[in-house]
Structure 1
Amino acid sequence: MPSILKANRLRLSIIAGLLLAVTAMHYLTTTQLVNAHDVYRRLYYVPIVLGGVWFALRGGIVTSILASLLYMPHVLFHWQHHPSIALEQYLEIVLYNVIGCLTGFLAERERQQKLRYQKTAETLEESYRKLREQADQIIEIEGQLRRADRLSALGELSAGMAHEIRNPLGSIKGTAEILRDGVAPDDPKLEFADILIKEVDRLNKVLEDFLRFARPEPVELGRFSPNKVIEEVLELTRQQALSNRVEVEVALAEDMEIPGRGEQIQQALLNLVLNALQVMPDGGQLKVSSTVRGNEVGIHVSDNGPGIAMEDRDRIFNPFVTTRDSGTGLGLAITQRIIQGHDGHIHLESTPGQGSSFTLCLPISMRDMETEKS
Structure 2
Amino acid sequence: MKEAVKILIADDNPVIIAATRRVLESAGYTVISARDGEEALEVTRTQRPNLLLLDVNMPKMDGLETCRRIKSDPQLAGTFIIIMSGTHTDSDSQVNGLNMGADGYIPRPIANRELLARVEAMLRIQAAEQTIKKYSESLEELVAERTRDLREAQEKLVRQERLAALGQLAGSVGHELRNPLTVISNAVYFLKLVQPDADQKIKEYLALIEKETGNAEKIISDLLDFARIQRVERETITVPELVERVLQRYPLPDSVNISLDFPVGLPSLNVDARQMEQVFGNLALNACQAMEHGGQLKISAAVEADSVKIAVQDNGEGITPENMSKLFEPLFSTKPSGIGLGLPVCKNLVEANGGQIKAESQPGVGSTFTVYFPPG
> Comparing both structures, which one devotes a greater share of its residues to helix?
1
Higher strand share: 2
